[in-house]
Chains A and B, each alone.
Chain A
Amino acid sequence: MDCLEFRRLLGSDPRISDRAAREHLESCPFCTDANARAQAFESGLAQAMAVLVPTGLADRILLAQLTGERQHQRTSARRFGWIALAAAACMALAIGVVRHERAAPASLADLVVAHINGPEHAALQLRAPVAAASIERAFADRGVHLKSVPTEVSYVHECPIGAYRSVHMVMPENGAPVSVLYVVDHGSIANTDFRRDGMQGREVPIANGTLVLAAQTDNRFDAVEHTWRDAIEGPAQVAAGSR
């Protein structure tokens, strides 16, 4: 390789992976100088091109994907609704003919755990806090006006849970995320702890709905329950002994 070939190669790809080019570089002081200038230029070029990446870009993309996936599932459900309806009718008829049994309806705990372990499972990985306004808006859409807004929420979405309407949130809790769902039109009578599919859970009646907590362990349940009772009912009622 001569100097001219080397300089052309240097201008088109300064990484010099070609063996003949490396051998020429070792033997030619002029091209060694040219290579040093080219590498300095490349370094400046790479630094200049590395514009600042917006904070939270990856989290926003993942949230958009989760939301889009959910909408797609709803659209698909509508599109094939008549098939589902026909299939359901056939199934109901078959079941009715063969056996006269009624299946017990799924409990709220079953529905919540199935929802958390479904497509929204990735929401548990989110860490960046969502805006307080998003949380307030989600609750307001469900007819609940928060007295205060907890800050440590990394995911919020208005999700249907079976026939119920809910606000689905995730609190990262230092790497042990807790799924928090406020089911607005479900009335529980008393606090109930449950265990499903390896998850600990708790149902807590608050105001006119039920707060459902689910996580790998129940270590943070008391604190999270307290936080959301304050947020939904206000601290005054807690102090007055509404629990």
Chain B
Amino acid sequence: MTDSASEGRNPRSTAAVSNRQPQFEALVRAHSGELYRYAYWLCGQDALAQDLVQETFLRAWRSLDALRENVAAKAWLSTILRREHARLYERKPMPTTDISELELPDNAPGPEHRGEDAVLRAAIAKLDAKYREPLVLQVLGGFSCEEIARQLQLSEAAVMTQVFRARQKLKALLDGGDEEAHLHGLS
């Protein structure tokens, strides 16, 4: 299933549009939040992440006929988003900011958690993209290593190694002198 497969054929009659609209709206309401978080950890910028999610859904709308089962929607949308992110950098050189230099928003529920989230987020942001991306797909998306392997076009063994190393590196970063991480038992 590819997002570009059906871009060329768009049922544009009023009836067809009306039928597709509720399905599309349900998709947006169900997946936009999760997709934003995935986009955020891909690019590290709030505004760019919102743009990516919007572009993803607009592309999904044009290819909605390619989505045969709603249960596959999350993986389908993640794939479109990742391609859209790649296209973004193909189209024009973006002003690059290292994700580790960015200020990360903190939506922790209470002051007692604020430090904890900030420390861990900074550590996640420091991970190489090849480790961060499968980890985000696994932890946020709930995908299995096999599903991640299909999405990233890697072997399942390679994904298992990457997410294993991602966790090891995170623990090493947290162990690397941050007392707050120790305090909260995250290291």
Using CB atoms and an 8 Å cutoff, list the residues of chain A in contact with chain B: 8, 11-13, 40-42, 44-54, 57-58, 60-62, 64-65, 68-69, 72-73, 76, 117-119, 121-122, 125
Identify B163's interface contact among A13, A46, A60, A76, CB under 8 A: A13
Does A49 contact B58, Cβ atoms closer than 8 Å?
no
Taking the closest CB of chain A, its distance from the CB of B71, in whole angstroms, is 18
List chain B residues, Cβ under 8 A from A46. 139-140
Judge whether B138 is part of the interface by a CB distance below 8 angstroms. yes
Does B24 contact A65, Cβ atoms closer than 8 Å?
yes
Does B139 contact A49, Cβ atoms closer than 8 Å?
yes
A218 to B53, CA, bound (A): 38
Judge whether B120 is part of the interface by a CB distance below 8 angstroms. yes
Main SS of the interface on chain A?
Answer: helix
- Interface size of B in residues (CB-CB distance below 8 Å): 53
Using CB atoms and an 8 Å cutoff, list the residues of chain B in contact with chain A: 10, 12, 14, 17-18, 21-22, 24-25, 28-29, 32-33, 36-37, 40-41, 46, 50, 53-54, 57-58, 61, 104-105, 107-108, 113, 116-117, 120-121, 124, 135-136, 138-140, 144-145, 159-161, 163-164, 167-168, 170-171, 184-186
Does A45 contact B139, Cβ atoms closer than 8 Å?
yes
Q: Give 24 A-B contacts (CB < 8 Å), ordered by A residue.
A: A12-B161, A42-B139, A45-B124, A45-B170, A46-B139, A48-B117, A49-B41, A50-B37, A51-B40, A51-B104, A58-B29, A58-B32, A60-B50, A62-B24, A64-B54, A65-B24, A65-B28, A65-B57, A65-B58, A69-B17, A118-B18, A119-B18, A119-B21, A125-B25
List chain A residues, Cβ under 8 A from B145. 12-13
List chain A residues, Cβ under 8 A from B36. 53-54, 57
List chain A residues, Cβ under 8 A from B54. 60-61, 64
List chain A residues, Cβ under 8 A from B108. 47
List chain B residues, Cβ under 8 A from A68. 58, 61
Does A49 contact B140, Cβ atoms closer than 8 Å?
yes
A68 to B57, CA, bound (A): 12
List chain A residues, Cβ under 8 A from B37. 49-51, 53
Nearest A residue to B116 via CB reads A44
List chain A residues, Cβ under 8 A from B46. 54
Q: A48-B120, A51-B105 are in contact. Are A121 and B21 (CB under 8 A)?
A: yes
Taking the closest CB of chain B, its distance from the CB of A217, in whole angstroms, is 22
